[in-house]
A = this chain, B = another copy of it.
Amino acid sequence: MTSVEEPARPAGRIRDAARTKAEILDVATQEFSRAGFAGARVDEIAARTRTTKRMIYYYFGGKEQLFTAVLERAYSVIRMAEQELDVEHLDPVAAIRRLAELTFDHHEAHPDFIRLVSIENIHEAEHIAASEELGTIGSPALEVIRRILETGRKSGLFTADVDAVDLHAMISSFCFFRVSNRHTFGALFGRDLVAPDQREHYRTMLGDMVIAYLTADRTQD
């Protein structure tokens, strides 16, 4: 099996810095996500790559920096997805719902990312703070939300007095919790929040919640 893996390259090392780095990052993402920062084993990461532990230190410097690199790549994925957001041609209500659904989909599709963020929060975001790349850039989604909110408020559709960051927090909290806390929630309440047949239910629930909040009739209160 091991010899079939690669296409007829019987002997000798192949040198490919980019591939080696990427492979280390792939495996490290899995291992950190599986066991947390302290629980992850550098030896285990190395063993699961085609290279050795030496290369981890050669390319990344240490366990701490490797985790930072893993985080940086994970965040870059969501940032790229957000840059593809194309919802501003929709009316504000539909645009926000679509945005919420895309956030929902992205969280569901990337449970490893959710776990890494949970782990980073246990460590009080110290790796983000230490990273030049992560500290500076914001979220493309935030700008999109800002513009939709403005349009919706001008047209009188949106009555709520929220800013983009808080609305982003509201949407993220539901999407994040559903994935991050699925195990304890499932164990305690006997309900699987990520069961495939409940997916549409929760996706709709999220959209309904956000739209209801934004368009609620405040004259009643």
Binding site for B on A (CB under 8 A): 35-39, 115, 117-122, 124-125, 128-129, 134-135, 138-139, 142, 160, 162, 165-166, 168-170, 172-174, 176-178, 180-189, 191, 193, 202, 205, 208-209, 211-213, 215-217
Q: Are A181 and B117 in contact (CB under 8 A)?
A: yes
The interface centre, meaning the residue of A119, A160, A202, A216 with most chain B CB atoms within 10 A of its CB, is: A216
Q: Is the interface of A mostly helix, strand, loop or mixed?
A: helix
Residue of B nearest to A220 (CB): B215
Cα distance A160–B205 when bound, in Å? 9
With A38-B35, A162-B205, A188-B138 in contact, do A118 and B122 touch (Cβ < 8 Å)?
A: yes
Cα distance A68–B205 when bound, in Å? 33
Residue of B nearest to A174 (CB): B173
One complex includes copies of this chain to the number of: 2
Query: Which of B122, B129, B186, B205 touches A36 (beta carbons < 8 Å)?
Result: B122
- In the complex, what residues of B have CB within 8 A of residue A124's CB? 183
Residue of B nearest to A162 (CB): B205
Query: Which of B177, B185, B193, B209 touches A209 (beta carbons < 8 Å)?
Result: B209
Min distance, Cβ A152 to any Cβ of chain B, angstroms: 15
9 closest A-B pairs (Cβ-Cβ)? A38-B39, A173-B177, A125-B183, A212-B216, A38-B38, A212-B212, A125-B187, A128-B187, A209-B213
Instruction: Known A-B contacts: A35-B38, A118-B122, A165-B191. Give 12 more (CB < 8 A).
Output: A36-B39, A38-B39, A39-B39, A125-B186, A128-B188, A138-B189, A139-B188, A169-B178, A173-B178, A212-B215, A213-B213, A216-B216
